[in-house]
Structure 1
Amino acid sequence: MAASGLQLLGFFLSLVGVAATVAATVMVDWKKLVQGKHRSYEGLWMSCAGVQDRMTCEIYQSILKMPTEIQVTRAVLPVSLLLSALAVLISTVGMKCTHFMDGVPKSKSMIAMIGGITFILSGVLTIIITSWFVNMVLSYSGHKLFRPEFGNAVFVSWVGGLLTAAGGAFLSCRRCWRTNPPVSMSSSHFLSTNHSKSNYRHSSAFQIIWTFPKTFQDSSIKLTPLLDKMAASGLQLLGFFLSLVGVGATAAATFMVDWKKLVQGKHRSYEGLWMSCGGVQDRATCEIYHSFIKLPDEIQATRIALPLSLFLSALAMLVSTVGMKCTHFMDGASQSKSVTAMIGGIMFMLSGLLTIIITSWFVKVVLQNFYHSPPLIRSEFGNAVFVSWAGGLLTLTGGAFLSCRRCTTMSSVSISSSRLLPTSDPKSNYV
């Protein structure tokens, strides 16, 4: 239990670190320049300038024209995230709380160690590139009024790298969670082993051939439930990962700015759940909403419902992880474990349904306003609507796989062809 707990602690620390690294990668304030009320920021993908909450942002059009530190950091951080994604897959197979590779414990622990080392490499890479970025910013020479500083994204990236490396250290430290003591070889063990070997040598080939059909029959009886269990675990994993992809799409849609769009020649304006933007092509001016009450009804309702859907999905992840067959949690209570997985699936389904319903209602309101407004001010629904629909459908589908007990319950009685073969019991031959 302690070993599994340390591995889970390391795994979730690494996940939090990876999330912080993702957030830092998309943040815009890697470099900042403050001149009175005017502020300008430079991120890895765009630059912004403005006063207080009103900013004009512009996406970089040329990589070669960007400063060296931004070019290098923009290339290295995605590599770090790719390493983290590989580490998540490897560690999931190797951790003690999962049923993967239970028959080969040494290989399983080695895979967990490899996953931890991969997390460490990812975290160290993030820390190194962030520190180098800070060094480059501090080395700028020039007048104080035009000398930039490093922004908050640097601290977020540092924290992400440290947490990822720390979590990987827990996973890769085999001495920290090795619980099996070394096997002591006594003289009686050698005697019993030699005696069994001698007995095996004296067994005749005729006896081996005679007992082979019965052994094969027994193995086929035991193999069928095992295959059922593997299929059930595979269906649960499929549902879980479908739901994860759906939750990611829902989270992305929640923060997208193009829920509503209005195109007037080259000028385009967008309305999201948290801010509105307007501009020409890749240059836009964005403004954060200051009053919730003044927002349109469809934006108010969607802004409340989607975070609630994400909260339900977060709870469903925790519940489903405990109840899935591929984990060791609640192995002693198989019925309760199955019910727990079903509850997690139902929560995923509720989350997906809530996302689909609120998105469909949003589209209905936009279409009603479109047909009852003058042509020049007719707003349409944007790409965020399709992302939200896709997220809700994937979450709902994954929850359906998890909540279907008939799909994932292993049959208690398996009938094979071995039951129809004659046995050595004379009573079985009585008709």
Structure 2
Amino acid sequence: MVLLTIKTVQRVSLFVAFGGLVTTFITTFLPLWKTMNSELNEMENWYEGLWHTCIFTEEVGLQCKAFESLLTLPPVTLVSRILMCVSIASGFLGVLAAFFGLEGVEVGAGRERLKRNLLILGGVLILVSGMTTLAPVSLIAYVMVLEFWDEGLPDVMPRWEYGEAMFSAWFSGLLLVIGGSFLFVAVCMGDHQAKQQRKISCYNHTLQHQTLGRQNYSKTEIL
């Protein structure tokens, strides 16, 4: 329990959140959200992300093409792209705010109320970032499951399956949620410590007054 100090919890939380933010940023632009392999041509593998569609062949290698227009995007892909961009922006602002709220950072030194508010703001923004990362990947996964088991499609027609980037997005979203949540734990630990210090200070102040009172009473008796 000695290692579980407020400063340690703050820094570990921020480190976890930053790792989730970096992973989210990389995952957003990876073309590996969906993967598909046709039984008719096993030499071809198709990949699709939020920004590109790619095909891999042994002869040519990997070739990618960006989506030509926003109007041609499926609604799920468009919504997911927007949510991932919101996640990156809110996560960056949250990590920045939480960094300036850390103990030991000289910016705002001596202004504990300001640092506490920065930690709370950072925690809220990081949680928003985590939720807006988990939402699109879960939505895409749900739609893919519906399409995979759609009985109206012919059995020979290939279906999209989960790509590596989807698991990466789930992982990064969980990291952001954990990091943001533990920032609130650090704030609660700081509030508890400040409350204990106020109690000790009040007790010492009362004890000091009682001691002075007894000394004055003793002096009066001697006189």
TM-score (normalizing by structure 1) = 0.42
Deviation at 1:249, TM superposition (A): 0.9
Deviation at 1:410, TM superposition (A): 5.6
1:221-232 aligned within 5 A: 231-232=5-6
What corresponds to 1:393 in structure 2? 174
Distance 2:190 2:164 in 1: 36
What corresponds to 1:279 in structure 2? 56
SS in 1 for 2:28: helix
Amino acid at match of 1:241: F
- Structure number, greater radius of gyration: 1
Amino acid at match of 1:354: T
What corresponds to 2:219 in structure 1? none
SS in 1 for 2:193: coil
Q: Identity over the aligned pairs, expressed in percent? A: 25
Q: Is the 8 A contact 1:258 1:272 kept in 2?
A: yes
Distance 1:357 1:325 in 2: 32
Q: After superposition, what is the alpha-carbon deviation per residue over 1:42-78, rounded to whole angstroms, capped at 9, x for unaligned?
A: xxxxxxxxxxxxxxxxxxxxxxxxxxxxxxxxxxxxx
Count how many residue pairs are aligned between Structure 1 and Structure 2.
194
SS in 1 for 2:131: helix
Match of 2:113 among 326, 335, 338: 335
SS in 1 for 2:45: strand
Amino acid at match of 1:397: I
Amino acid at match of 2:193: S
1:25-424 aligned within 5 A: 231-264=5-38, 265-281=42-58, 283-372=61-150, 373-375=153-155, 376-404=157-185, 405-409=187-191, 411-412=193-194, 413=196
Distance 1:296 1:374, change over 3 A: farther
Q: After superposition, what is the alpha-carbon deviation per residue over 1:401-422, rounded to whole angstroms, capped at 9, x for unaligned?
A: 112321343613356xxx9xxx
Deviation at 1:387, TM superposition (A): 0.5
Amino acid at match of 1:363: A
Q: Is the 8 A contact 1:232 1:409 kept in 2?
A: no
SS in 2 for 1:337: helix
Amino acid at match of 1:388: A
What corresponds to 2:220 in structure 1? none
Deviation at 1:236, TM superposition (A): 0.4
Distance 1:342 1:352 in 2: 15
SS in 2 for 1:409: helix
Deviates more, 1:403-412 or 1:243-252: 403-412
Q: Is the 8 A contact 1:316 1:344 kept in 2?
A: yes
Amino acid at match of 2:119: A
Distance 1:309 1:252 in 2: 12
Distance 1:263 1:386 in 2: 19
Report the RMSD for the aligned CA atoms in angstroms: 2.4
Amino acid at match of 2:69: S
Distance 1:302 1:403 in 2: 28
Amino acid at match of 1:293: L
Q: Which runs of 5+ in 2 are unaligned?
A: 216-223
Q: Is the 8 A contact 1:262 1:377 kept in 2?
A: yes
Distance 1:271 1:324 in 2: 40
Q: Is the 8 A contact 1:236 1:408 kept in 2?
A: no
Q: Is the 8 A contact 1:401 1:407 kept in 2?
A: no
Q: After superposition, what is the alpha-carbon deviation per residue over 1:202-239, rounded to whole angstroms, capped at 9, x for unaligned?
A: xxxxxxxxxxxxxxxxxxxxxxxxx79x8101100000
Amino acid at match of 1:268: N
Deviation at 1:285, TM superposition (A): 2.0
Distance 2:104 2:75 in 1: 44
SS in 2 for 1:258: coil
Distance 2:20 2:145 in 1: 25
What corresponds to 1:112 in structure 2? none
Q: After superposition, what is the alpha-carbon deviation per residue over 1:138-176, rounded to whole angstroms, capped at 9, x for unaligned?
A: xxxxxxxxxxxxxxxxxxxxxxxxxxxxxxxxxxxxxxx
Distance 1:286 1:343 in 2: 39
Q: Is the 8 A contact 1:348 1:399 kept in 2?
A: yes
TM-score (normalizing by structure 2) = 0.79
Deviation at 1:321, TM superposition (A): 1.6
